[in-house]
Structure 1
């Protein structure tokens, strides 16, 4: 008996008007209730506190006729999810989503765009998505709007903004602006911000919408990276490090003492925002070359750690390829989730463990050594040993143990009904 009506400023279709006319309870934002024809006898609940509004819907009972009016497509970051979580099965009459309308106003395709929400969520994940991806729509909220978004992105991430205010309303406004200007202007709610890399506003033809699938493979061979004197994290170590770092869309990852930038590039291929930190100018140029070769986005920060880390945004995960315990501890003091350290000398393992535990991490270590198959004359092979590497890693919270209920006693063989015989006349029904 619940109907969710999407409203985008356009005249309501006939079915939506009918459901509103017969509703005993109408729930919606103040501006929505003022814009649609709410029947005189219906009780109105302003949708400010979502939980309180849902409580009122629950109290109305299963037989009550309830209409919920929400912006755009209520099934897209909208009230439909909350209703379903309460056990309701609403009928949904959607309008255009704000993201669809915003890209239409900009005249851009958006099957290759990320759509992220900062409404009731931390802004930093939306910012990281904007750092890593060329086309992002941000569903904003008071205190997490165009100005706040621009302050986080400017000047490190060159982007342009399309700020779409009050989409579909008589006072709709669409403004193209640089982030520097967006930090100083007043903005009206509600709004949607398109954050665009001007050089890549039209992406490649896609088969999947939104974030692209992860890379087909990782732990790439060293040969695909430009490096100096084999100073590159070996593929086997990179595979282990990536498993611990867990880079993903919305994350910020630091690669400190990046060398060739191989770890930074691989993390960026998973969709994370990445900063490669390196003190050597020639190595920084080498990192940029590797970034271009792999078609990813990595910011390069030249300087001496730990001092250079002060101006960087807080990371979710950090890979430390060099710098000693002082650098490890400085990274750990900022990391939100994990730190991974690669070491050549066993004497540095204990100081690194101590640096991580001092910052509240649960720390562990392992020695990794690979023996690669190497051909010899006569169509035979030997095992060529690579230098051992010690990997130390720390996590803010240990991964929770997964318990599986012992339901073996309840398992019974299942009988599957046979398909009807082709000659059986029932098979044609």
Structure 2
């Protein structure tokens, strides 16, 4: 490939000076694109055209014009950290093709922040809030013990702290600012409440959200969040503490989980949670979970079950639907159990706020029409099934019979695509 048609992408690291090879590339460039501080620090020749990065589209057009006219010297793009990690490499590869790029990465801000904290980051979940919805980052922080949040305007430490102030106990925010700048670098540990009360300025690179007790996880084979719950899902009832068999049975839970579709970055409510078996199973998928339970002993069981399975579940002691008014964040999905006379009203309240789906479990035939009407009345497309299962049970003489479980109706309502709100990961 002709040198003048190449795009050399140089990651400047976290304040480290450009390597000799990168300086040579800049010195021979025909067009240099970068942020104001990057251009000021680089040996850009007087003969080269300069484009200061602001909005991305004008910079891409300038690169395209340079390539079309075959200008003297290659294009050099200066970027912070590792430009292939939530950086400009994606946009350049989409527009000009990866074969044209010569990428020379620096140290990413996430790697640098974790190094300053003395932590490995192969088990960290990294989420970008730069130009994206903050709720995804908040939900990931609620569900995972080590999260690196790439910040942006309106999505910095203060906003993150405010959203997490009533989140899991013990979370610490580590705010890394001006990484690599020997005069301005700051690395501070604060509580979410303290972060919310501060004005952090514009130099924040990344925020680590840590559960200090679990921040140093076990040795991993695959980096990032776990891809699914260890040991499968729809766990047996004896995997949970419960009262008098008052627990959503494994067969029902399996279909409920399939319809809820819990995933990383989302929020699930388990309303009328009982033992919290559905809440815990959703949390094992990496979802942020709020469990609403009216009994004090039920609240204790949910917390004990969450701790036993090593997940975070935020438990609210209250009676639905009234207790739902105190939940500020709308859920992506809701599971409604409990089966009381007020279940249709609870289902309706949940359906009005659910972004994606509501699943309702009912044992009483008489309440199915009202629950279905509650979901359809909120604009959801409704379907359902009667689940009847029989389990193998031993008989004397080393033989086996089928023991029938109580039948359960499972209804689910899905928000139509035209009105559903997606979550960008």
Q: How does 1:69-88 map to 2 (within 5 A)?
A: 69-88=78-97
In 1, Cα distance between the equivalents of 2:354 and 2:60? 37
Q: How does 1:86-235 map to 2 (within 5 A)?
A: 86-89=95-98, 90-158=101-169, 159-169=171-181, 170-191=183-204, 192-215=206-229, 216-235=231-250
**Cα distance, 1:156 vs structure 2:** 2.9
Change (3 A) 1:345 1:398: farther
The answer to whether the 8 Å contact 2:157/2:175 transfers is yes
**Cα distance, 1:189 vs structure 2:** 2.2
* Larger CA Rg, structure 1 vs 2: 1
* Structure 2 unmatched runs, 5+: 1-5, 419-425
1:32 aligned partner: 38
Q: How does 1:263-282 map to 2 (within 5 A)?
A: 263-282=278-297
* Structure 1 unmatched runs, 5+: 400-429
In 1, Cα distance between the equivalents of 2:193 and 2:130? 23
**Cα distance, 1:397 vs structure 2:** 2.5
**Cα distance, 1:24 vs structure 2:** 1.3
1:419 aligned partner: none
Secondary structure in structure 2 of the residue aligned to 1:253: strand
In 1, Cα distance between the equivalents of 2:36 and 2:142? 35
Alpha-carbon displacement from aligned partner over 1:36-63 (angstroms, at most 9, x marks no partner)? 2222121121221112221221222254
The answer to whether the 8 Å contact 1:123/1:144 transfers is yes
TM-score between both structures, scaled by the size of structure 2: 0.91
Greater RCO, CA 8 A, separation 6+: 2
In 2, Cα distance between the equivalents of 1:88 and 1:377? 70
1:345 aligned partner: 364
In 2, Cα distance between the equivalents of 1:311 and 1:32? 47
2:75 aligned partner: 66
**Cα distance, 1:268 vs structure 2:** 0.7
Q: Does 1:53 pair with 2:87?
A: no
1:404 aligned partner: none
Q: How does 1:294-373 map to 2 (within 5 A)?
A: 294-312=309-327, 313-322=329-338, 323-373=342-392
Alpha-carbon displacement from aligned partner over 1:264-304 (angstroms, at most 9, x marks no partner)? 11001111111111000011111111112211111111001
Secondary structure in structure 2 of the residue aligned to 1:254: strand
TM-score between both structures, scaled by the size of structure 1: 0.90
Q: How does 1:284-299 map to 2 (within 5 A)?
A: 284-299=299-314
**Cα distance, 1:350 vs structure 2:** 1.8
**Cα distance, 1:79 vs structure 2:** 0.6
The answer to whether the 8 Å contact 2:168/2:312 transfers is no
Change (3 A) 1:352 1:398: farther
**Cα distance, 1:163 vs structure 2:** 0.7
Secondary structure in structure 2 of the residue aligned to 1:199: coil
2:267 aligned partner: 252
